[in-house]
Amino acid sequence: MSDFKKPSLPGSALFEAQADGADPAEMTAAGHRIANLLVRGPRSDDDQGLVDRVLHLADAEGLGAIADLWSHAAADSLAGALWRLYLLRTWVYRQPEQAAREFSSGKAYAPVHEVLAGVVDPPGPEEVIELVDTVVRGIVGPDFDVTLDRAASFAHIVGVGRAQLESGDPQSAAKLVDTALHLRRAAVLERASQLH
């Protein structure tokens, strides 16, 4: 028994070497606070100052710098819903032709809910960009639940379309349908005033 040595405890140098300077819990909390301020609006002068700084950061560094704070948020949270909206919008801007093709294909197999009424048939890349911008503009306003429903419908139709196309990727199509389910659940929570 005398040959057994107690394990040594890691010193502070080990933790300092692993830290990148950002506490994940603080980053998550900041992401939730920013999401709440962007959707619900500022409630104090301090909040307004934070909103101004966030908007300046978005102008200077791009929305991605803010959206990264939401990337690990639960799907049924306000930050998680904003992350999914950001991903959809970013993808449509990067690949509008693919988005239009998959949306058109999906419309043949999935019902187009009335929340997407007025979409040009068949939509081209510009129409799909306009649609996603219209959806995202609804973040700021009293009808955020409708914004989430519209985004869910769009993601569902595109996911179904992607699965139907010969060149489609079934796994990414399934992820889009999952995204639609998450957004629809967030809309239900928003209507119940439980999306935080």
Task: Check if the beta carbon of residue 99 is closer than 8 Å to that of residue 91.
Answer: yes
Give the model's pLDDT for residue 18. 55
Residues 6+ apart with CB under 8 A from 75: 81, 84, 182, 185, 186
Give the model's pLDDT for residue 178. 97
Rounded CA-CA distance 48/39 in Å is: 13
Task: Check if the beta carbon of residue 81 is closer than 8 Å to that of residue 195.
Answer: yes
Rounded CA-CA distance 106/86 in Å is: 21
Burial class (CB in 10 A: 0-12, 13-18, 19+), 134: middle
Rounded CA-CA distance 125/189 in Å is: 32
Smallest Cα–Cα separation from 73: which of 106, 33, 112? Answer: 33
Give the model's pLDDT for residue 42. 81
**Domain edges within the chain:** 22-191
* Extended beta strands in 23-68, E state: none
Give the model's pLDDT for residue 45. 83
Tens of each residue's pLDDT in the chain, 196 residues: 556 555 555 566 655 655 566 788 888 999 999 888 888 888 888 888 887 888 778 778 888 888 999 999 999 999 999 999 999 989 998 999 999 999 989 988 887 765 565 566 666 778 878 877 776 666 767 888 988 988 898 899 999 999 999 888 999 999 999 999 999 999 999 999 999 9
What is the model's pTM?
Answer: 0.81
